[in-house]
Structure 1
Amino acid sequence: MGTPLGDFVRAKRDSIQPESLGLPSHGRRRSPGLRRQDLATRAGISVEYLTRLEQGRDRNPSVAVVNALADALSLDAAERGHLRYLAKITGGECVAHAQPAPPRREVRQAVLQTLRLLEPGIAVVTNRLGDILARTSGYEAVMRTSGLLDAESPNLTRHLFTDPRAKAFFADWDEIADQQVFDLWLAPSVESSEWFTTELAPVAGPEFTHRLNRHVVPQRGELRIDHPSAGALRLLRETLELPDDAQQLLVLLPADEQTAQAVDRLRDRPHGRLRAIS
């Protein structure tokens, strides 16, 4: 049985073309990407050790090995951070509990007050699992036709993988899906593993589990929406991390005048006020 660390190293190795690192292609091969021999040589470790690491038979690589693998795979800053995180949880350093704790859904009053100051802008508070915990009227105005807010307890991750309307609404659905799945790795491990193995995976299907095991580190560019009544919207994303709460405050800003005008029209329609879910 593999590990998140081994899966990530193998996925990155498979995605690298040898020529991009100045290595010979070795002709046609059954497996894509970089050979284990080439990666092991670049990282200064044995092929046998790399094999054990990828297969999950070695779960405690040293910091030096993790850094050497990051260098050998030419990882960027975000990917290096993810590799270090996976090494930590694979090594069992995360705190384990007898009973999985439910995700925190309460939003602090100070955060709610901050959200009110952003009215009538487009802003939302979420946790790493994708739960929509509080939102402004502007966020509701933009998202109401997506189906995301129809559920009693809205969850963006579940919506993306189980509601067919999501693929029509989010112009870059593949990228958004990768981002949401990646964030599951950053959630408290006990909460996230219990939730996505017992609740999400059975209904989300293989498209979700495939993305989960690919460990694609997202770039998080513009959010593009194909709004059924407002047309194409381009929104810039600004995220404020709330580490003590394991939550995020996401603010969406119109990227062009056309989007700004469309959002203003959506706001003029009847809508609710700031909502917090607990």
Structure 2
Amino acid sequence: MTTSPYVPPKVWTWDAANGGQFANINRPIAGPTHEKELPRGEHGFQLYSLATPNGQKVSIMFEELLAAGHAAEYDAWLINIGKGDQFGSGFVGVNPNSKIPALLDLTGPEPVRLFESGSMLVHLADKFGAFLPASGAARTEVLNWLFWQMGSAPFVGGGFGHFYAYAPEKFEYPINRYAMETKRQLDVLDRQLAESAYVAGSEYSIADMAIWPWYGGLVLGRAYNAAEFLDVTSYKHLMAWAEKIDARPGVKRGRIVNKNWGDEAEQVPERHSAEDFAGKAV
């Protein structure tokens, strides 16, 4: 292994030219870059998102709620992060962290803003009494796994995915470091799913909805072109769970909401009603 000649300066300064593939949307400061109001549709929930794993969590939740008969109609608006939509003043007003997704709940006497996908899942689960036990040990177990995902996935996306797939150069040390951690997390899930039908027990929950877009997508070969590199087929229980979740109608619909790339049959850039899925691969 070679030793990098890089020596960190005493005080770091930002050089946008060194940002790699996402240099145009990464910066070390917060706040809006331009004035732009968010659109609003006719429904009580307004989702502003993109079909990345974090965005898929919430659109899957909405589609699962609708499939279960809940009055959870929503409008989903595309936030094109490559063009900097997340830095518009309206979006920053809902999510000061300038990351997708962002959600407005307009069903009550006062609008409720929600940022962070885990917060949205808990809010919607409690509001509709679905996919999260109301109390007790079963609720805590779901939250255990929800927060596990929120804390663990940055190692997969920002760590492994970045250095393996997106960094301008390949470096052995960070790829090895994050591959090791990613495989450890896959093993955590595989061992858990050897003992239970779903991540948090015998019932499908928001824990599955949060974890599947990241880890299900990874083992199903939809992320970073890394399935062979990570030997994902060795995680047999995880693979079976990923395929089981992938077959759910609500998941099939939710994962393509706010998607504007790839096969057109798997693109629903905006979603305002069930009719938007007509002719799609769902």
TM range (shorter): under 0.3
TM-score (norm 1): 0.26
- Return the structure number with greater strand share: 1
TM-score (norm 2): 0.25
Which of the pair has more CA radius of gyration? Answer: 1
